[in-house]
Amino acid sequence: MEFLRPASWEEALAAKAEHPSAVPIAGGTDVMVEINFDHRRPTHLMDLNRVHELHEWEIGDETVRLGASVPYSKIIDELAHELPGLALASHTVGSPQIRNRGSVGGNLGAASPAGDSHPALLAAGAEVEAESVRGTRFIPVEDFYTGVKRNALAEDELIKRVHIKKADGPQQFSKVGTRNAMVIAVCAFGIALHPETRTVRAGIGSAAPTPLRARTAEDFLGAALEEGGLWDSGRTIPPSVAREFAELCSGACNPIDDVRGSAAYRRRAVGVMARRTLGWVWESYRATGNGRTTEGGAQCA
Amino acid sequence: MAPTTGPGRTPTQLDQGADTKGGVGESPLRPDGTLKVTGEFAYSSDMWHEDMLWGCTLRSPHAHAEIVSVDISEALEQPGVHAVLTYDDLPTEMKNYGLEIKDTPVLAHGRVRHHGEPVALVAADHPETARRAAAKIKVDYRELPVVHDEESALAKDAPLLHPDRDDDHARHVPHPNVVHRQPIVRGDAGAAARRADVIVTGEYEVGMQDQAFLGPESGLAVPAEDGGVDLYIATQWLHSDLRQIAPVLGLPEEKVRMTLSGVGGAFGGREDLSMQIHACLLALVTGKPVKIVYNRFESFFGHVHRHPAKLWYEHGATRDGKITHMKCRIVLDGGAYASASPAVVGNAASLSVGPYVVDDVEIEALALYTNNPPCGAMRGFGAVQACFAYEAQMDKLAAELGMDPVELRRRNAMSQGTLLPTGQAVDSPAPVAELLRRVKAMPLPLEAQWETVGGEPDVRALPGGLSNTTHGEGVVRGVGYAVGIKNVGFSEGFDDYSTARVRLEVVGGEPVAMVHTAMAEVGQGGITVHAQIARTELGVAQVTIHPADTQVGSAGSTSASRQTYVTGGAVQHVCRLVREQVLERGRERFGTYHPAWASAELLLEGGKVVTDGGEVLASLVDVLGDEPVEAEDEWRHRPTEAFDLKTGQGFGHVQYSFAAHRAVVEVDTELGLVKVVELACAQDVGKAMNPQAVEGQIQGGTVQGLGLAVMEEIVVDARAKVRNPSFTDYLIPTILDTPTIPVDVLELADEHAPYGLRGAGEAPTLSSTPAVLAAVRAATGRALPRVPVRPEHIVEV
């Protein structure tokens, strides 16, 4: 195995073009486990830790441009205001040591359906900035996951940044694991209210071959909120609407039975999380009036 | 975590050594404590030797298969590879090993019987080279049908795991796929059942728990010039290993010199051999030191696990809550090789009624041979499985009678003098009712601890923890109780002894005691206690603990809650022999100067020989001069006897240990997630030799029991293959899963035991699990007959 250590982003892109099978590594929390257990034996390993811009982030008017290697602990500490859902999801990743090393770029690169950041990215709205020597493209995150542990990257592309929409309303994230910390998701759920567009987005993790958006549920809820005039009135969401939203989220799942949980349980749990997190974000929205809030992210940060 | 109620202390009074600091009953610092906490302690996996090679094991990917052929040629050709060994390379006629029954092949011959069975070994100059070479060994398997449960094991045409078995149990078992079967019959359960006003039955299941010690199997074998080998190894019992290793190597035992290296936890999982023989074989063949370290994946295949069990129970009671009778059948899955299965069966059968008075019983316990992973010793073995079932039955019975579950237990609690189903009288304190009273009397933890002043919930205090699944929705509190009984020490006629060598000498102008035993310090604190005993018995401040090795006689196993009792007893006994020699020498040297030397009541205190009135006769430095005093002896507890094979009657156990728990849980009833809020424990330890250490044992055992209750299970599929051999999917409790554990320690002396002590390590593991389940049942109303309980079971999808 050859170890590549590009000193700059340009060098990294050139190396990736030259060695398309090179596996990029930053925190190593996923790749190193696979290598240590000999589950993976890449011809080239590309250490991206010298590429400093991957560790940086920038808060723009609309989005946070998050470098691929920014560790979860930074997201929790520095970005909970702009990215409350992702900050909550980051809190559920591994142990403190893992959160100091692991990154959203790594989560996207691995594209495991159980990756913790995916539901939060799907709910917030995000684009993956993929680059190669051929150029740059922006891939909407919902199009990024193409299969179990497969993503939309071309073989010469690297993830440079993720452009995540800044929260314009409350966001929540919930994850079921059979331990109270340091656990891989049995299933996970992210929700974001977008009062500016009067939409709701919901992301589901670990309950289908890929992370996915619960679009039918989103559309149903968006319509119900609109028709009921709830965005303006701030009235409580009728229980029947919350129930229907939960059922549609369950219905969006396409889970499997495995050692972590049964398909039936996953479906059930996604529904429960959908109903509860909807309640939490809506209560926040009502409480703050305009919906602009740091609710959720702040409590654990 | 301080005790919440006053400990019930009636400790044994010490005469000798009462004035010596750091002696019995105190909590001096562990000598290994700081090193372990700061990460500087050298574990067996940290060893290194000039020119050493790395060993690697090739294991079977199948649970049951015929080995058609093995081709090692390509592996041998790899640069850096020094040796590749298979069954054909074993040097003697002894090809198997085993704790009691030598049925476990050192390397598979013609057939593999479980997923992960060792087939071949490689030694190379780098661990990676060894692993890659192992992958180049070509093994042609022909898969065979698997035996994976009672039905498939006992079917008429079932494949036999060991068709030619000739062990002691072979003659009395009903089927060759039964390792051992122990019935116990006492009284007339059928007649007694007719007196019952209510009868409850239940079918229970315990999943396969793993010891999950953090230090993987590892060791270093160094070939010696005399043709022997020096083995540095993490184990629970050096001499048991030695007796199994030497015959396979074809060496006399004195040429296999073993030294204990840093042990990173054991819990029973190091009673059986793992890489010991493999490393020695590779070292002897290559003439170079060989180190083997399992990774976590291999570790799950490298040691035995807790027996999964199915248990059928029937209890009857009169309207006033008096148990009339009990019938039970306990089927334990021993997996492919016997390991400790016979002893697990004996424990399960003899303790199946729990700490209760039941005169009329019909009991059957057996262990199967299957193609599942081999199961053997794990903390509380046999008794853990039974306790889960009989305590569930107690709650069922109480519900049927409309009686408080603690009151039902109290009315049937055993006490000193109670006869066990084996006919053996419990001849030391058995404060079962008192332990229950104490845990029940503890104040309950506050409700809704997640609520904060600011309004945002503290999710760490809720089911799901940081996963943020509830802010209180669906959360219901439940409280449950359980109590258990565990035998201490090796039972059923086993000659359970320990050896100690103690030397007292003047070093640098001070009297120093050196204690040398082969006791395996596996984290339990034995070396701390040995030093305390020596200080107390010899009245000295300085005690050196010699490294544990085979240059001294056997100390028996660090298991069965026995080590402080038996090796502690040996150290006490030998210290007393040393004391007598010291006093003898003092009398010879100084007897004429003071009439008190003739007294029989002389003590060693503060480095001096004193009268029982405190008058100093001489300093130890003067008595010893430059001539050390040394003694060595074996010490054994009272003999036990085997259980009768038909009736189960017999004086099988030497001592019992009791603990009770009260569990307070909060269950997310919609998601099936559990937060254990508090696990209060009361335990009688006879004598708290080291109060801090015993509290640690109780808390550790409590958490291990919690793990079995809500998460820990090796999942084996119907093809007998392990599905989750990693810490990613074999979950053990984190600190956020660990509740507050108030501990109430009783010290009711057992007059038969040194200092009145009672083995303490296992009892808390028993009652913790059923207490948690009782609490979850109380919160959810579900029957939950299986552990670990999974979210699916709680929400019933």
Give the contacts of B77 (CB within 8 A, at least 6 positions apart).
none
- State whether the Cα torsion A221-A223-A225-A227 is positive or negative: negative
Q: Is B212 exposed, middle or buried (0-12, 13-18, 19+ CB in 10 A)?
A: buried
Q: Please report where in the chains the tokens 């949980």 appear, as a residue.
A: A261
Cross-chain residue pair A180–B729, CB shorter than 8 Å: no
> Which pLDDT tens digit goes with each residue over B455-467?
789 999 999 999 9
Is the CB of A148 inside 8 Å of chain B's CB atoms?
A: no
Residue B362 β-bridge partners: B185, B327
> Which pLDDT tens digit goes with each residue over B588-614?
999 999 999 998 889 999 999 999 888
> Which pLDDT tens digit goes with each residue over B86-95?
999 999 999 9
Nearest partner of B775 among B680, B657, B658, judged by Cα: B680
Name the CATH topology of B425-489+652-795: Aldehyde Oxidoreductase; domain 4 (3.30.365)
Q: Which domains does chain A have, with CATH numbers?
A: 60-301 (3.30.390.50)
Q: Residue B797: which of A176, A259, A268 has the nearest Cβ? A: A268
Architecture (CATH level 2) of domain B44-144+229-263+270-288: Alpha-Beta Complex (3.90)
Alpha-carbon distance of A218 to A241, in angstroms, equals 12
Q: Please report where in the chains the tokens 């929540």 appear, as a residue.
A: A172
Please tell me the distance in Å from B208's CA to the nearest CA on chain A.
14
Q: Please report where in the chains the tokens 């006492």 appear, as a residue.
A: B186
| Through-space distance between the first and last CA atoms of chain A, rounded to whole angstroms | 40
On whether the CB atoms of residues A128 and A139 are closer than 8 A, the answer is yes
Q: Which two tokens stand for residue A287?
A: 């409480």
Q: State whether CATH 3.30.365.10 applies to domain B9-41+497-636.
A: yes
Alpha-carbon distance of B82 to B316, in angstroms, equals 66
Amino acid at the residue A222: G
Cross-chain residue pair B464–A276, CB shorter than 8 Å: no
pLDDT value, residue A300 = 36
Phi, psi for B335 (deg, rounded to 5):
75, -155
Q: Which residue in B122, B294, B466, B726 has the most chain A C-beta atoms within 10 A of its own C-beta, making it the best mutation to test that interface?
A: B466
Alpha-carbon distance of B69 to B142, in angstroms, equals 10
Alpha-carbon distance of A172 to B796, in angstroms, equals 27
Mean pLDDT over each residue of chain B, to the nearest integer:
96
Q: Please report where in the chains the tokens 């990294």 appear, as a residue.
A: A12
pLDDT value, residue B88 = 98
| Through-space distance between the first and last CA atoms of chain B, rounded to whole angstroms | 38
**A-B C-beta contacts closer than 8 Å:** 107
Mean pLDDT over B538-548 rounds to: 97
Q: Which two tokens stand for residue A150?
A: 């497969």
Nearest partner of B785 among B795, B797, B770, judged by Cα: B770
- State whether the Cα torsion B345-B346-B350-B354 is positive or negative: negative
Alpha-carbon distance of B661 to B659, in angstroms, equals 7
pLDDT value, residue B13 = 64
In chain B, what residues touch A262 (CB-CB under 8 Å)?
792, 797
pLDDT value, residue B646 = 97
Helix (H, G, I), strand (E, B) or coil at A261: strand
pLDDT value, residue A85 = 98
Q: Which residue in A29, A92, A178, A295 has the most chain B C-beta atoms within 10 A of its own C-beta, making it the best mutation to test that interface?
A: A178
In chain A, what residues touch B470 (CB-CB under 8 Å)?
276
pLDDT value, residue B454 = 79
CA angle B726, B727, B730 (to 5 degrees): 80
Nearest partner of A104 among A132, A129, A143, A69, judged by Cα: A69
Chain A residue closest to B713 (CA)? Answer: A259
Alpha-carbon distance of B742 to B10, in angstroms, equals 20
Q: How many other CB atoms are found less than 10 A from the CB of residue B619?
A: 15
Q: Which two tokens stand for residue B523?
A: 């984290």
Q: Please report where in the chains the tokens 């993956």 appear, as a residue.
A: A128
Is the CB of A38 inside 8 Å of chain B's CB atoms?
A: yes
Give me the average pLDDT of each 10-residue run along chain A (301 residues): 96 98 96 90 96 97 98 98 98 96 97 97 98 98 97 98 98 96 96 97 97 98 96 96 98 96 97 98 87 40 32
> Which pLDDT tens digit goes with each residue over B678-700?
999 999 999 999 999 999 999 99
Extended strands (E) in chain A: 2-4, 23-25, 44-47, 57-59, 63-67, 126-132, 135-140, 145-147, 150-151, 158-165, 171-176, 187-194, 199-205, 212-213
Alpha-carbon distance of B103 to B477, in angstroms, equals 48
Alpha-carbon distance of B283 to B55, in angstroms, equals 9
In chain B, what residues touch A189 (CB-CB under 8 Å)?
none
String of DSSP letters for B12-80:
PPPSTTTT-TT-TTS-PPPTTHHHHHHT---BGGG---TT-EEEEEEE-SSSSEEEEEEE-HHHHHSTT
> Which pLDDT tens digit goes with each residue over B94-129?
999 999 999 999 999 999 999 999 999 999 999 999
Cross-chain residue pair B465–A180, CB shorter than 8 Å: yes
Give the contacts of B619 (CB within 8 A, at least 6 positions apart).
B511, B607, B608, B609
Please tell me the distance in Å from B797's CA to the nearest CA on chain A.
6
Sheet holding A187-194, edge to edge: A171-176, A187-194, A199-205, A212-213
pLDDT at B4 over 50: no
Residues in chain B: 797
Extended strands (E) in B569-698: 603-605, 608-610, 616-619, 629-636, 655-668, 673-684
pLDDT value, residue B394 = 98
String of DSSP letters for B245-308:
HHHHHT--GGGEEEEE-B----TTTTSS-SSHHHHHHHHHHHSS-EEEE--HHHHHHHS-EEPP
Give ranges for CATH 3.30.365.10 in chain B.
9-41+497-636, 425-489+652-795
Phi-psi region of B250 (alpha: psi -120 to 50; beta: other; left: phi over 0): left
> Which pLDDT tens digit goes with each residue over B8-27?
444 456 778 888 899 999 99
Is the CB of A37 inside 8 Å of chain B's CB atoms?
A: yes
> Which pLDDT tens digit goes with each residue over B739-772?
999 999 999 999 999 999 999 999 999 999 999 9
Displacement of CA B427 from its chain's centroid (Å): 24
Q: Which residue in B131, B208, B301, B468 has the most chain A C-beta atoms within 10 A of its own C-beta, making it the best mutation to test that interface?
A: B468
Sheet holding A126-132, edge to edge: A57-59, A63-67, A158-165, A126-132, A135-140
Displacement of CA A137 from its chain's centroid (Å): 19
pLDDT value, residue B80 = 98
Alpha-carbon distance of A135 to A13, in angstroms, equals 10
Q: Is B78 exposed, middle or buried (0-12, 13-18, 19+ CB in 10 A)?
A: middle
